[in-house]
């Protein structure tokens, strides 16, 4: 054990070092950005949670078109609780997540009677029903105009410390903390037997069922967990932007989530994160600089087509591919990933 453990220890240390460096970079990031870029960074961090939670559902093989609406359930719930019931904002966000999870639990009864394409369409229909409810009922949802003047995240005021979350930098760190904890939980779930079972259901649901896996319950579990974190993302969004409306959670927005996930790749945990980060950077920096940011749908469509054609396994497959290429050029066998002993 100790002899075999050395390699594992080194790998774990390298992994920790990389994580520390990543967090250092993330902490330094807002100070390198302009005010408007800081605002974009906040939304990006929220979108990382949105697309990562979406991936948890796709582990079971089901792709939903309602995930952004579920995020909206979290946003509306948290906003209404804060505005109308005076619930303190951090708590209202948690309750928003719980409401999103509860909505998913209810929806799973009709939706998981279907699989594949039918589930996709069913989830779209369910999402549209929720959106129409927001539009139709002005009280309490505010109708097509939605909710405005949503309470912001309360400032922290102690003797020596004063944090105003109206400042994008501060909200960025708040969102970063919440999203980091959420991603850690999502990661732990995937690495546990629960994740193994989700994968098993994806590849052979009949076989999984035959050895005692209640596939309906596990599909529901994936949907509920994914929706909880989407709801949290919604809460973070609502109390940052201060306004929500039904259009913000329309299927157009869902298409962006799909593009992030597909371009990034869903085989690994970091794939969708890579997708949302790279595409946001392309959109906000490159396109804006070129004055093409209004052509976002067109260019996203182009990127999607190019990715599907030339990078079908997503950006996540780029690293291993480049590494193999590099090793081949140095005359090493591509398969040997480790140094010679």
Partner 1 sequence: MNAQDERPILEARGLTRRFGGLVAVDNFSFSVREGAIHGLIGPNGAGKTTTFNVISGFYAPSAGRVFFRGIDISGRKTSALAAMGLVRTFQGSTLFQEFSVLDNVRVGRHLGTRAGFLSRLLGTDRPLEQAAGEEAREALAFFGLEELADEPVSNLPHGHQRMLGMAVALAAEPQVLLLDEPFTGMNPEETRRMMTLVRRIRDRGVTVMLVEHDMQAVMNLCDIITVMNFGALLVEGEPEAVRNDPAVIEAYLGSAAPDGSGHAA
**CA atoms of 264 and 276, how far apart (whole Å):** 7
Structure tokens at 159: 């003797």
**Least CB distance to partner 1 at residue 306 (A):** 26
Q: How many residues does the chain have?
A: 341
Q: Output 199 or 288, the one with its CB closest to partner 1.
A: 199
Q: Output 180 or 215, the one with its CB closest to partner 1.
A: 215
Q: Output 181 or 302, the one with its CB closest to partner 1.
A: 181
DSSP one-letter code for 268 = S
**Least CB distance to partner 1 at residue 47 (A):** 24
How many Cβ atoms from other residues are within 10 Å of residue 161's Cβ? 7
Q: Output 135 or 202, the one with its CB closest to partner 1.
A: 202
**Least CB distance to partner 1 at residue 167 (A):** 33
Binding residues for partner 1 (CB under 8 A):
185, 188-189, 192-194, 196-197, 199-200, 203-204, 206-215
Residue identified by tokens 């019931």 is: 85
Q: Output 181 or 292, the one with its CB closest to partner 1.
A: 181
Q: Output 33 or 189, the one with its CB closest to partner 1.
A: 189
Of 197, 232, 205, 204, give the one whose Cα is nearest residue 47: 232
**Least CB distance to partner 1 at residue 311 (A):** 20
Contact 133, 80 (CB under 8 A): no
**Residue 10: is the preceding peptide bond cis (ω within 30°)?**
no
How many Cβ atoms from other residues are within 10 Å of residue 340's Cβ? 5
Q: Output 147 or 232, the one with its CB closest to partner 1.
A: 232
**Least CB distance to partner 1 at residue 185 (A):** 7
- The string over 5-30, giving b where at least 16 C-beta atoms fall within 10 Å of a residue's C-beta and e elsewhere, is eeeeeeeeeeeeeeeeeeeeeeeebb
**Least CB distance to partner 1 at residue 195 (A):** 9
**Least CB distance to partner 1 at residue 221 (A):** 8
> Which sign, positive or negative, has the C-alpha torsion 146, 282, 173, 36?
negative
**CA atoms of 161 and 154, how far apart (whole Å):** 14
């Amino acid at each position: 054990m100790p002899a075999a453990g050395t390699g594992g220890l080194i790998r774990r240390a390298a992994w920790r070092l990389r994580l520390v460096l990543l967090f250092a970079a993330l902490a330094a990031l807002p100070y390198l950005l302009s005010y408007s870029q800081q605002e974009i960074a906040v939304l990006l961090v929220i979108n990382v949670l949105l697309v990562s939670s979406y991936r948890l559902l796709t582990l079971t093989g089901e792709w939903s078109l309602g995930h952004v609406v579920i995020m909206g359930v979290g946003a509306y719930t948290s906003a209404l609780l804060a505005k109308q019931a005076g619930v303190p904002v951090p708590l209202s966000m948690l309750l928003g997540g719980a409401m999103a999870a509860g909505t998913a639990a209810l929806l799973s009864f009709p939706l998981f009677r279907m699989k594949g394409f039918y589930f996709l369409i069913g989830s779209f229909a369910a999402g549209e029903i929720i959106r129409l409810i927001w539009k139709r009922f002005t009280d309490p949802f505010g109708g097509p105009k939605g909710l405005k003047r949503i309470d912001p995240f309360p400032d922290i005021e102690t003797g020596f410390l004063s944090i105003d979350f109206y400042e994008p930098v501060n909200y960025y760190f708040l969102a970063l903390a919440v999203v980091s904890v959420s991603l850690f939980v999502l990661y732990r779930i995937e690495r546990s037997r629960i994740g193994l079972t989700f994968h098993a259901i994806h590849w052979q649901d009949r076989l999984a069922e035959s050895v005692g896996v209640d596939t309906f319950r596990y599909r529901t579990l994936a949907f509920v967990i994914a929706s909880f974190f989407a709801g949290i993302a919604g809460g973070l969004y609502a109390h940052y932007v201060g306004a929500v409306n039904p259009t913000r959670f329309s299927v157009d927005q869902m298409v962006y989530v799909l593009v992030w996930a597909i371009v990034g790749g869903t085989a690994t945990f970091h794939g969708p994160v890579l997708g949302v980060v790279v595409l946001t950077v392309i959109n906000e920096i490159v396109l804006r600089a070129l004055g093409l940011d209004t052509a976002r749908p067109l260019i996203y469509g182009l990127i999607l087509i190019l990715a599907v054609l030339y990078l079908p396994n997503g950006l996540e497959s780029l690293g291993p591919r480049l590494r193999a290429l590099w090793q081949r050029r140095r005359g090493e066998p591509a398969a040997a990933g480790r140094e010679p002993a």
